[in-house]
Chains A and B, each alone.
Chain A
């Protein structure tokens, strides 16, 4: 973590431990550079998981979360970057090919656009799906009530 801070300075916003797990909050613009550094210099050779968390009240509402693992050190590291609704996050596909489907899933579920992704399209939901279900403001009942209204012509009792 010190090394990361020395190398990237202000781009490392915050470094903390939560339940003994290392979390580093970074500037989203530097995501690709820091990822490459983590892979090449710090030996975090596997991208275990890439996901997002939605905090709608915040100015930049999404957390893009990368869980990294190093075989050499047997350590985990979590990179986090805040991303806004309209600004794209840089894709890490060229660093870890594993990110391909994970970023597609993030796009599918949250609507985060990953810049530089080779084929960013929905993965789990049909192409014509409206909205991004894992956003906090996506109502789980909406689809139901809409269907009932449209097809049965009544208000859903749900």
Chain B
């Protein structure tokens, strides 16, 4: 770091016109020069600023190269891959069941959602389905995970912008959810809660009560966060009109999840193409119009309320019966391929699995929502103030474990 192609301090080379004056060239050009080193050509008053990979508000090891014109962002480039572990390659060397715990380590703040997507994709590949009881328990745990993931986002996002209080409140409630996970499967973060074909564990005694108690308390807690932020002048000032992404751009860039809904597209996979047990429950899909940081905040707050609503409906009526489908110990899906996606807290999380009829997948492709949403960063940050870059990174809600895989 600090030398070579992405050196920290690239010298501003101002292009000159025939009269020795600096020309008003504002776009970054890369010239393949001698020694095949690229030189960035900048306008006379532009500088390159590096943010990350070690930076508290990039939520991991994201490096953003910003081209600044004074305080304004004239262009940006995300440099990722610091956390790349080759998850897709690992999958080709594991059996279907052995790979399941690895997916928890992608979006490590929403491990349950990752597991649900993977298990359902393999089930689809096998042509089987989890029993009704397993599907409902999966739905409850996944919705709790969505709340936990959004709480983590809210706490850290507010912290980035300068509101110190919410993070403590958010972690307090998140702890309650993690306790439910711990009681259910023994793990808090990388849970590996589901198995291909259903569930490994029955729910523990008091699972329903714990979930209900959490949901009932949580209603007031969201109001509490909202009193801290929603009409807070500083919060509104720092988020309204910042990082605007309109619906057409969002769709063209493949953006999904709360970011897409805040831009005004009423689309949620739980409703559009239901999986698990979502077709049985009533819930609203919150949307907003402008697509700025404030809207995305409002959408996620409302989503937590809806998740709570789904949990309460589901926990009232968990069907009895088996929790595991009869699929056998050795999984050999017939040759072919399948794409299955779920609405993860960050957006559409898809698995494209190709089987060649053996016990190991021939190819597993993960369609990570964070990776694809992060691509919209450049569009959102252009023209913003440098201080808002932090708000924009936070509002996309990325997890670098998933971006880099």
Contact = CB atoms under 8 A, between A and B. Distances in A.
Interface of A: 18-19, 21, 23, 45-49, 51, 53-54, 65, 67, 71, 74, 76, 78, 96-98, 100-102, 109, 122-127, 133-134, 136, 138, 140
B89 A134 contact: yes
B371 interface: yes
Contact of B375 (A21, A101, A122): A101
Interface of B: 5, 80-81, 84, 86, 88-89, 92-93, 124-125, 127, 251-254, 265, 267, 272-273, 336-339, 341, 348, 350, 352, 354, 362-363, 365, 367, 371-372, 375, 404-405
A109 B84 CA distance: 12
B337 A18 contact: yes
10 contacts: A53-B362, A67-B350, A71-B251, A97-B252, A101-B375, A122-B81, A123-B80, A124-B80, A124-B405, A134-B363
A74 B341 CA distance: 13
Given A18-B336, A51-B365, A124-B81, 10 more contacts: A18-B338, A19-B124, A46-B254, A48-B367, A49-B339, A49-B365, A71-B267, A96-B254, A97-B252, A98-B375
Contact of B88 (A48, A98, A134): A134
Contacts of B352: 49, 51, 65, 67
Given A19-B336, A71-B251, A101-B372, A48 B341 contact: yes
A96 B248 CA distance: 11
Nearest to A95: B252
Contacts of B267: 71
Contacts of A96: 252, 254
Contacts of A140: 86, 89, 93
A19 B338 CA distance: 7
A122 B363 CA distance: 20
A67 B252 contact: no
Nearest to A124: B81
Contacts of A97: 252-253, 375
A58 B73 CA distance: 47
A124 B365 contact: no
